[in-house]
Chains A and B, each alone.
Chain A
């Protein structure tokens, strides 16, 4: 990937969750499914068909292609509502129950920034839709979130340009991560076990 290649919006969410996960997917081209990604795909089947419809005066675009030249971003919004009063409102679909997850918010804010550049109008709010609880959580696109989008994009670009994979985090995040087997966070962190095994490699220990 060269510096001018746009960064996929999904990378921002991956990075916000775990920089190494982002590196594994976008540098190492790794992908693995687990129960969480399978649920995510099931949720997205609802919104992956491009098109639009009108609901009570609100025009709803599904799977809308997005980009932002200023930040060098490209991607897709699950759903964007265009209200009669001019409000533009992106909605990101997530499986699971309603929860506060800042990596979801970064992704949503990045979508808002794309929409602003594409349409030349401000996007002040969006929402995360949680499929299990069927609840929306409204998110204000604050200046803090906007800054976070910029910082995250910069950090990802540095990683992609350097070609270096961030180190494993080896914490609670790893348990839910579909890339756990590819990442091997525990094995890589276990330097003492590695050293022990290395020391044993040329020794024969059993009585012979």
Chain B
């Protein structure tokens, strides 16, 4: 049933992706590197200077598979759009409901609740696992604060109040994440709050990259179900910003990105050699680091979970698509309120 088709990530500069019979073939310097049947490929994601043949673009468009172009940093650049691009009735409903303050507030509230609960679950688990009692107390305190934020979110009377609750909670959460890093890794992976434009330490560089991957997946999920990724409920509309993708991303940040970042650090799968520091302090994953992260990201997406509402097992990478659909159902009035994904 629900299967996660592979996303083919092409990261090698000057690689050439083309169609050969019914396969995608990747050549580098005229040598074959990879060949996979097209029906195994759900989407093609190209980083930086990757060439794609027109024949392959046509086939991807015909089959409704996405082709996404990213900068080498993982930032979104462009996407190939096929003949079925969205669902106009759904978009109309989305625009109407985004203009309905009551509806927008309730949807934003559900999104924040999902984010807070999932962030909190990460801290509660970390508190249970740490041997250090001081840190355990600190993590528990932050988890309690997030529970208080959740109660505040439940009664916030407008979007600004809700965003305020969320901002406060995020500061506390990122302030605690350092204690979740194993002591021996802390020298290389100190996190002093979240810095993102640009990231100023390795931990933030890693988070930024993972959030970009997550954001691309959320955007694809929204576009697949026909929602307009630019029109959000929690995130305000701004030119060039995929506000709804940012909305959808919230409930997945800690589950998919933060946990993975911590695992990669704590298991020493990433080290200082996987990052480059630029003059002035900006830190970025280098090519080797990106490869490690992408591989782990793909593996993580294959892990099976049970969706509480669907009551069935699915790869976790499919969950953003399920959630985008639930969002569409809420917007179309088939469900009375959005339900974020909360792992059991």
Q: Do A and B come from one complex?
A: yes
Tell me the A residues contacting B by CB distance below 8 Å.
27-31, 163, 165, 167, 180-182, 184, 186-188, 190, 193-194, 197-198, 200-202, 204, 206, 208
Chain B nearest CB, measured from A73 CB (Å): 22
Instruction: Given A194-B339, A198-B339, answer yes or no on A208-B124 (Cβ-Cβ < 8 Å).
Output: yes
9 A-B pairs with the lowest CB-CB distances in the bound complex, closest first: A202-B154, A204-B147, A201-B113, A187-B309, A187-B310, A197-B339, A28-B87, A163-B89, A29-B84
Judged by a CB distance under 8 angstroms, whether B249 is at the interface is no
Extra pairs beyond A180-B1, A193-B311, A201-B342 (11, CB < 8 Å): A28-B87, A29-B84, A29-B226, A186-B311, A193-B309, A194-B336, A198-B337, A201-B114, A202-B113, A208-B124, A208-B143
CA distance A201 to B336 in the complex (A): 14
Q: Is the CB of B325 within 8 A of A197?
A: no
- B323-335 near A? 1/0 per residue, CB < 8 Å: 0011001001011
Ordered by A's residue number, 18 sampled pairs between the chains whose C-beta atoms are within 8 Å are: A28-B90, A29-B86, A30-B87, A31-B84, A180-B1, A184-B322, A187-B326, A190-B311, A193-B308, A193-B311, A198-B337, A201-B110, A201-B113, A201-B339, A201-B342, A202-B151, A206-B124, A208-B143
Q: Is the CB of B334 within 8 A of A188?
A: yes
Judged by a CB distance under 8 angstroms, whether B153 is at the interface is yes
Q: Is the CB of A29 within 8 A of B87?
A: yes
CA distance A204 to B2 in the complex (A): 30
| Candidate in A165, A167, A201, A208 with the most chain B CB atoms within 10 angstroms | A201
Interface size on B, residues (CB 8 A): 40
CA distance A28 to B90 in the complex (A): 8
| Residues of chain B with a CB closer than 8 A to A29's CB | 84, 86-87, 226
CA distance A176 to B306 in the complex (A): 22
| Residues of chain A with a CB closer than 8 A to B336's CB | 194
CA distance A111 to B226 in the complex (A): 32
Chain B nearest CB, measured from A186 CB (Å): 7
| Residues of chain A with a CB closer than 8 A to B337's CB | 198
Q: Is the CB of A188 within 8 A of B335?
A: yes
| Residues of chain B with a CB closer than 8 A to A180's CB | 1
Judged by a CB distance under 8 angstroms, whether B64 is at the interface is yes
CA distance A186 to B259 in the complex (A): 31
Judged by a CB distance under 8 angstroms, whether B144 is at the interface is yes
CA distance A208 to B124 in the complex (A): 8
CA distance A54 to B171 in the complex (A): 78
Specify the chain A residue showing the minimal Cβ separation from B146: A204
Judged by a CB distance under 8 angstroms, whether B290 is at the interface is no
| Residues of chain B with a CB closer than 8 A to A206's CB | 124
CA distance A201 to B116 in the complex (A): 10
| Residues of chain B with a CB closer than 8 A to A167's CB | 334
Q: Is the CB of B147 within 8 A of A208?
A: yes
| Residues of chain B with a CB closer than 8 A to A188's CB | 329, 334-335
Q: Is the CB of B120 within 8 A of A184?
A: no
Q: Is the CB of B334 within 8 A of A202?
A: no
Instruction: Given A181-B1, A208-B124, answer yes or no on A28-B335 (Cβ-Cβ < 8 Å).
Output: no
Q: Is the CB of B332 within 8 A of A165?
A: yes
Instruction: Given A28-B89, A182-B325, A204-B120, answer yes or no on A190-B64 (Cβ-Cβ < 8 Å).
Output: no
CA distance A190 to B311 in the complex (A): 10
CA distance A80 to B336 in the complex (A): 49
Q: Is the CB of B144 within 8 A of A208?
A: yes
Chain A nearest CB, measured from B40 CB (Å): 14
Specify the chain A residue showing the minimal Cβ separation from B63: A33
CA distance A180 to B314 in the complex (A): 14
Q: Is the CB of B325 within 8 A of A202?
A: no
Q: Is the CB of A184 within 8 A of B329?
A: yes
- Chain B, range 289-336, C-beta contacts under 8 Å to A: 308-311, 322, 325-326, 329, 332, 334-336
